[in-house]
Structure 1
Amino acid sequence: MSREPFPEVSVPRLLPRPRLRSTAAVFTTLSALAATSLITGPSVAEPFSTHPCALKRTDAHHSEGLHTWNTAYPRPADTLDAVMVFLSFPDWVPMISPAELAADHFPSTGEYFRRASYGRFTLRAHPVKRWIRMPKPSTAYAMKRDWSAEHRAAYLRDALAAADGKVDFSRYDVVYFVADPDAPGVDSDATKVVNMDEPLRADGTDIRRIVTVFEQHPPDRLVLAHETGHVFDLPDLYHRPTDGKGDWDTYVGDWDLMGSQFGLAPDLFAWHKWKLGWLDPRQVVCVSADRPKRLTLEPLSAGPGVAVPGAAGSPLFALGNGTKLAVVRTGAHSALAFEARAPVGNDHSACRGGILVYRVHSGEQSGHGPVEVIDAHPRTEACWADSVYPPLADAPVALGERFTVPGEKVRVEAEGRTMTGAWTVKITVG
């Protein structure tokens, strides 16, 4: 079984203070924090999509609405720069170099986003080449999965103070604080994104969130890509049991990185690619009850240079410019999404291919089921040895099958395949 996913956390709004270049002015209030809170809607929103099936963004944390972009988050378009700051502690001599730790995450994290975005986005890493020493022993920060705000604030305070003067934070869009994984107080379960309701200020720039990395060497698969997804306003899609027991992957199984970085098919949902601006409006089709809609869906992971098995069984190249997503609105804040998944690209280890169907709820916040995969084969399971949740491993509608979405008057039929590997689909509403 895979280790439990890593939740992001938030810290409350800081007390009013003057804007200063130095980080020193924020340390007193930051260290006094004693509770957590969730960041809600931003004060500024940019218009993003007028598509008829684009759900409106709500105040839910990481809302799946996409008619506007939350400007509190950097938009992953073109190129963003990320700094990796490596932190050592006085109670331990590092046994590994910053360069080796950087190689644990890059270029793999950048390559994941390059494939997921069809080459539209580049995440460029800038690792600091030497250790930056923290003032206290690693055990002083009481790192653990459900980290107290007080200890987390002390860690951020000391890390920013130690890095200030050595790192020009104004040059970077994303900040990673990477701890020495062998230090005795470091707990890999503490890896997460820390959000600030009131941004920190350093080098004339606001720092709204920091990815705190405590991964062992080598790290968990795609963990930094998952955490970076939060930096781009993507929610956690896993289910966290209230008693700490039970399965975490009941909402989406293997089917999106934000559900599990261990998934067999961890490419981002087409809905997320739409949200991030990696799909053009013409690549999204809105289906209504007017009449049945026949369309051709290109495999989600198909992009420039990605070989997709065609109908004749020979690999052909899908250019990634075709329709990727079909949507049926089911309410003011809900929709059904349909996309084709195939074992190529980021999904190369997918258990089953076909038409994946899922519900999107823009009013549900991160970790509370904003996306739910609908199982087209609820009586069967697949890939027991490798899947994070075998009941959903065979969720897609297979070739030649028709499936009526439970509770909805919506039917999808996977009618055929084209010579280039796309799926011909018929969706009927009503």
Structure 2
Amino acid sequence: MSVPKLRSTAAVFTTMSALAATSILSGPASAEPFSTAPCALQRTEAHHSEGVDTWSPAYSRPTGTLDAVLVFLSFPDATPRTTPAELTADHFPATSDFYARSSYGRFTLRPHPLKHWLRMPRPSTSYAIRRDWSAGDRAAYLRDAFALADKEVDFSRYPVVYFVADPDAPGVDSDATKVVNLDAPLRVDGTDVRRVVTVFERHPPDRLVLAHETGHVFDLPDLYHRPVDGKGDWDTYVGDWDLMGSQFGLSPDLFGWHKWRLGWLDPRQVACVRGAGPTRLTLEPLEAGPGAPARGAAGAPAFGLGHGVKLAVVRTGQDSALAFEARGTAGADRASCRQGILVYRVRGGAESGEGPVQVVDAHPRTEACWENSVYPPLADAPVALGERFTVPGDGVRVEAEARTASGTWTVKITPGMGRKS
């Protein structure tokens, strides 16, 4: 049963008339303490900072269960050729399953789709929907959408909001799907709405696109590189290796660093490697266990997390670190091109889209899986079994010494090999 309405539709119109939609949020002045590990980078003013010492309360924490509402919007200039049920099936349970598996069952995203279309007051073409949407057109779209939805949706119940547009309307551009962050929270039904996922995907949609956009709702940055002139390769930073780089990647599980940030790894599962001498440790594979997930008592997927180390970190500067994790061929990484120890740089002060994470290629002279990889030069980036690799510029050496039948890796990391230019 819905909680009684606390705001009228007229009030929503008044509030939205002054709305400024933007992709920039205020800084982390009231951030909540999170990790005290010596290798935890500090959160900075950067949008979606990769710092893990604090958590910004402006974002919902993806632990336990969060409810999401899907609102379906049609337009006067088109008759929908799909149903809300069909569009819901485009994204769920795939999106929920991704997060359940990547979080080792620690997070459940529970969808609540409306069963009918809500008709917008203006033609789809009037909103000028496109990837680089103007703030004015975007605000007009959201103002109309909230005014419609507020008649039927109690937004106080839903930390995650999806506005799903009729994919066949003439003014809908599938490239415009994104999260809209509001410069000032919108007060609706007694709650602050800070961001909305505006979905304009075709039917059927791009693979895992909603999982990628939902990652932004949880403060994860874009890891792709957008060429200034619109030409060139977008996947030079992380290739296939994280959903926030590309939803089309062969290995789209979230980096161990992101699982640490989101609270899906226990402190004991992150090893801070310090000192100049070698450290030998055992790394469990990052992905959840192989095979179909077991079902818990409530019918939700249950995954084996394991209790060993899944992420090793070497601090390389005040705002930088190297991360090491074992990537295999299970879970979201089941189509992975290569297995081994993946190495990547993390910068807490880099903005979303400006390379906050960059994979280090252990095989810079070769590429792999050119027919399927989003960026073949990084498809064979991991350090393979029996290999030794020194990270250029940092002088940190990693050796993949052994691997057990269960998939765990014995790794030796030596920070003090001498910094190189």
Global fold match (TM > 0.5): yes
- Which residue pairs with 1:89 in the alignment? 75
Q: Does 1:363 align with 2:341?
A: no
How many angstroms does 1:349 deviate by?
Answer: 0.5
Aligned-residue CA RMSD (Å): 1.7
Answer whether contact 1:118 1:304 (CA < 8 A) is retained. no
> Is 1:53 the counterpart of 2:26 in the alignment?
no
Give the match's secondary structure for 1:61: coil
Report the secondary structure of 2:116's partner residue: coil
1:108 maps onto 2:99 in alignment: no
* Structure 1 counterpart of 2:397, from 411, 415, 420: 411
List gaps (5 residues or longer) in structure 2: 1-5, 294-302, 417-421
Cα deviation, residue 356, structure 1: 0.2
The residue number in structure 2 matching 1:4 is: none
SS at match of 1:259: coil
Q: How does 1:258-407 map to 2 (within 5 A)?
A: 258-303=244-289, 319-407=305-393
Q: Tell me what 1:14 maps to.
A: none
Offset, 1:318: 6.7
Could you tell me whether the CA contact under 8 Å between 1:239 and 1:367 is conserved in 2? Answer: yes
Structure 1: distance between partners of 2:50 and 2:366: 29
Deviations 1:156-212 (A, max 9, x none): 000001111211111111000000101111110110000012111111111000000
Q: 2:121 aligns with which of 130, 135, 146?
A: 135
The within-5 A match list for 1:118-157 is 118-157=104-143
Give the structure 1 partner of residue 52 of structure 2. Answer: 66
* Distance in structure 1 (CA, Å) of the matches to 2:305 and 2:136: 50
Change in CA separation of 1:318 and 1:78 when aligned onto 2, cut-off 3 Å? closer
For residues 34 and 128 of structure 1, do their structure 2 counterparts lie closer, same or farther at Cα, with a shift above 3 Å needed?
closer
* Counterpart amino acid of residue 195 in structure 1: N
Q: 3-state SS of the aligned residue for 1:130? A: strand
Give, in angstroms, the shift of residue 242 of structure 1: 1.0
SS of the counterpart of 1:154?
A: helix
The C-alpha deviation readout for 1:118-159, integer Å capped at 9, x for no partner, is: 000000000001111111111111111111111111000000
Match of 1:41 among 20, 23, 27: 27
TM superposition score normalised by structure 2 = 0.92
Determine the structure 2 residue equivalent to 1:427: 413
Identity level (%): 77
- Superposition deviation, residue 286 in structure 1: 0.5
Query: C-alpha displacement at 1:376, in angstroms?
Result: 0.2
- Alignment check: 8 A CA contact 1:182 1:216 kept: yes
Q: Deviations over 1:36-86 (max 9, x none)?
A: 462241342111111111111001000000111000000001000000000
Q: Tell me if the contact between 1:181 and 1:214 (Cα under 8 Å) persists in the aligned partners.
A: yes
CA–CA distance in 1 between the matches of 2:148 and 2:12?
A: 14
* Matched position secondary structure for 1:355: strand
**Residue 299 of structure 2: aligned partner:** none
Give the CA deviation at 1:306. 6.9
Q: 1:215 aligns with which of 201, 216, 224?
A: 201
Determine the C-alpha separation between the residues in 2 that align with 1:198 and 1:46. 20
- Who is 2:212 aligned against? 226
CA contact (8 A) 2:223 2:245 kept: yes
Question: 2: CA distance between counterparts of 1:24 and 1:57?
Answer: 39
Q: Distance in 2 between matches of 1:129 and 1:96?
A: 12
1:264–1:347 Cα contact (<8 Å) kept? yes
Structure 1 residue 337: Cα displacement: 0.1
Closer/same/farther in 2, CA of residues 149 and 65 from structure 1, 3 Å limit? same
Per-residue deviation at 1:407? 0.6
**1:419 to partner: Cα distance:** 2.6
Amino acid at match of 1:49: S
Equivalent position amino acid for 1:178 in 2? V
Please say if residues 28 and 44 of structure 2, whose CA atoms lie closer than 8 Å, have aligned partners that are also in contact: no
Aligned residues of 2:290 and 2:331 also touching (Cα < 8 A): no
Aligned equivalent of 2:235: 249
Number of equivalenced pairs: 402
Distance in 2 between the 1:219 and 1:304 partners?
A: 26
Distance in 2 between the 1:397 and 1:292 partners?
17
For 1:306 and 1:361, how far apart are their aligned partners in 2?
35
Distance 1:43 1:166 in 2: 35
TM-score, length basis structure 1: 0.90
C-alpha distance in 2 between matches for 1:171 and 1:27: 20
- Deviations 1:350-393 (Å, cap 9, x if unpaired)? 10010000000000010000000000000000001110000000
For the 8 Å contact 1:118–1:320, the answer to whether it is kept is: no
Give distance in 2, aligned partners of 1:35 and 1:152: 7
* Aligned residue in 1 for 2:297: none
Q: Deviations over 1:246-295 (max 9, x none)?
A: 11000000000000000000000000000000000000001012421111
CA contact (8 A) 1:22 1:201 kept: no
